[in-house]
Every structure is written in C-alpha cells, then in structure tokens.
Amino acid sequence: MYAMDTLNELSAKLLSRQAVKPNQGITYSEALDLLQVSGSDVLDLLGFANNVRSRCSGDGVSLCSIVNAKSGGCSEDCAFCAQSRYHKSKIELYPMLSPDEIFNAASDAACHGALHFGIVTSGHRSSKQDLENVASAVKLITKETELTVCASLGILSSEQLNHLKSAGLNKYHHNLETAESYFDQICTTHSYSERVEMVKRVKASGLLACSGGIIGLGESAEQRIELAETLLKLDVDSVPINVLVPISGTALSHEPPLPPMEILKTIAIFRLMMPSKVITLAGGREHNLGDLQPLLLTSGANGLLIGNYLTMPGQSPERDKKMIKNLGLHLGTNKRSHESFNNKIR
C-alpha cells in the first residue's frame, strides 16, 4: 500500500514547487505512483487532493447545464454513444432546435442556478445553417441572461470559431474522450490527432477550451493518467469527466462499471496534476457513485453538470445544490454572487 507518510512527503514537495511556481501540479511519474494507493489510504489521497483544490482553486463549485440541440444521426462510431447511427439505441431523434428553443432551455438552466450553459449538437461537423442558429441563440442568451455560453458542435474552422466568438461565445467544448493509446478501441471514423488539433484551434482563437473525456470505457488506470497528461500539455481551461453508463444498443452496453473508489481516486489524481483547473463531474456520477456522490467534491472536483446529460436525465438540480451547501462549499461566480444561490436553497 501507498503509505500515508509517502503522501505527506509528496504534499511537502508540491508545496515547495508551488512556492516557486503557483499552481504547479504533480509530475506524470508521481501520478503513476499514486495508482498504487488502495484501501483506506484512498481516503487520505482524497483529502490531499481536496486541500490542493481549496488552496489553488478556492471553495466555489461551478454549475453548468447543457441542451442537446440536435439529437442522433451522428456519422461517427464512438463505442459509448447512443447518438451514433452505427448503434441501435432507443433515443429521441430530432433536427436542430431553433434559437428560441435553445434560449428557453438556457433560461430554465439559469433559474436552476447554472452559471454556464452549453449548446451541444450531434455530428462530426455542423452545417452553415446550424451554426447560424447557434450564433443567434448565443446572442439571445448573452443579452437576456447572465450565463456564460459554451458550444460543442464538432470540428470547426478558425473562421467558424471566430464567428461564434463575435456572437458572444465564451468557451468551446471538445472532448478527447480517452487516451491516445486507447482511442482506436473507441472510435475508428476519425483520428485522435484531429481532436487534439481542434482543441489547439480553440485555444488559438482566444476562446476558453473545455476538454476532458469518459472513464470506464475499458481503458487501464495508466491510460487515464495519459489522458490527464495530454490535457495538461494542451493547457485546457476546464476538464469535464464523465463516467460510462452503458447504454443498450451501443458497443459498450455490457462494459462492467468502475469501482466507486477507483473513480474517486482518478478525480483526485487529475486534481493533483491540474491544481488550478475547473474539473467538472458530468454524466454517470449518479449511476456509478450513488450515495458516495458528495465525495466527488471532497476529492478535488470543483464543477458539476446539472440537469440532463444529452440523452439521459441527471438528478434534480435542487439535490445537487443542497449537496454543495451541506459540504460547506458555495457556488462559483461569474457575473452573479453566490449569495443568490444560498438564498434559493435555504
């Protein structure tokens, strides 16, 4: 087992590094060593990561919500995805929502305490008309609400990103999904390098980059660290982490679940590698963690996706907000103060 005194030694090393370079994380090699942590020592690791999160990122929890603005019919063969046309999942199929429909979803998210709102469409690329719909929706949302707006529309050009940025877009989301060494087990219709180049393009445009992945796809623990290292090198601004929920009709419908403490250990190591980033827990947290969900926010996470997860619902936003308050944390802010959040859940 990875002894507590070794964790204390690593903590001292990290504090020493951060005195010279604030927000410096643990090394790739140290992250691999932490995979040895097991048994009750995992709780010590979670506490270590929680202290780093508090010191480097504060005690605010960022809430975001998304709308599935175009559902199904995707030409890609991602093994986990219910929206792929290669699979036979039973989901609702519909074309691009109108700007007003997207705006209504954003308004509802704001009423539930979200500070950030993402517009998500299925497909490898977006049509010109779909992009115009999104641009119009972004203008409406930024004019009428205090939400910051993100979009996840597949592969876009620099010109398309700049167009959305001009409309008021704040952030662009494009997951790497998994480690490069495992990607060909998950998707064969496009390359890993294409995803990496898209994230680089987002950074070059001046938009914030949101990129993470899904754990529990059958990858090894070492490959999860490989994904974290890639995200660190890309210097993404926020890291959403999903945990696989096997969906009937997909290629991974019978994938066994990750043990809850393995999930929490992964979150902790991601935090220690990326002390100042927003690490958001998204799809699969209820299904895979159940009553242990609060430990997500004491293992280094500082963001939650509330409401729906594209093709499946999450738990109620009220339950998430209550969980945050019970842990002594508060809602992260952009234009709002967290006081209005606290008033809503008294």
Structure tokens at 80: 């986990």
- Give mean pLDDT, residues 159-183: 98
pLDDT in tens, 16-28: 999 999 999 999 9
The radius of gyration computed from the CA coordinates of the chain, to the nearest angstrom, equals 19
- The CATH fold of domain 58-344: TIM Barrel (3.20.20)
Q: What pLDDT does 90 receive? A: 82
pLDDT tens digits, residue range 105-130? 999 999 999 999 999 999 888 999 99
Give the ranges where 206-284 is alpha helix by DSSP (H): 221-234, 260-273
**Domain map (residue ranges) of the chain:** 58-344
Mean pLDDT of 46-51: 96
Task: Report the alpha-carbon distance of residue 293 to residue 316 in Å, rounded.
Answer: 13
Closest-CA residue to 63 (of 140, 144, 146, 133): 146
Q: Please tell me the predicted confidence (pLDDT) of residue 3.
A: 74
Distance, CA of 112 to CA of 338 (rounded, Å): 13
- Residue 106 DSSP label: H
pTM metric for this prediction: 0.94
- What DSSP designation does 256 have? P
3-class secondary structure, 73: coil
pLDDT exceeds 50 at position 31:
yes
Q: What band does 4 get if pLDDT is binned at 50, 70 and 90?
A: confident
Q: How many Å apart are CA 288 and CA 264, to the nearest integer?
A: 11
Both tokens assigned to 29: 């090699």
Residues with Cβ within 8 Å of residue 237, at least 6 apart in sequence = 171, 208, 209, 210, 277, 278
Residues 6+ apart with CB under 8 A from 78: 84, 177, 186, 187
- Per-residue confidence (pLDDT) for residue 1, from 0 to 100: 58
Reduce the secondary structure of 300-330 to three states and give it as a string: CCCEEECCECCCCECCCHHHHHHHHHHCCCE
| Higher local confidence (pLDDT), 184 or 89 | 184
- Provide the pLDDT for residue 60: 94
- CA 157 from chain center: how many Å? 23
Contact in structure between 315 and 290 (CB atoms under 8 Å): no
pLDDT > 50? residue 250: yes
Q: What is the SS3 assignment for 221?
A: helix
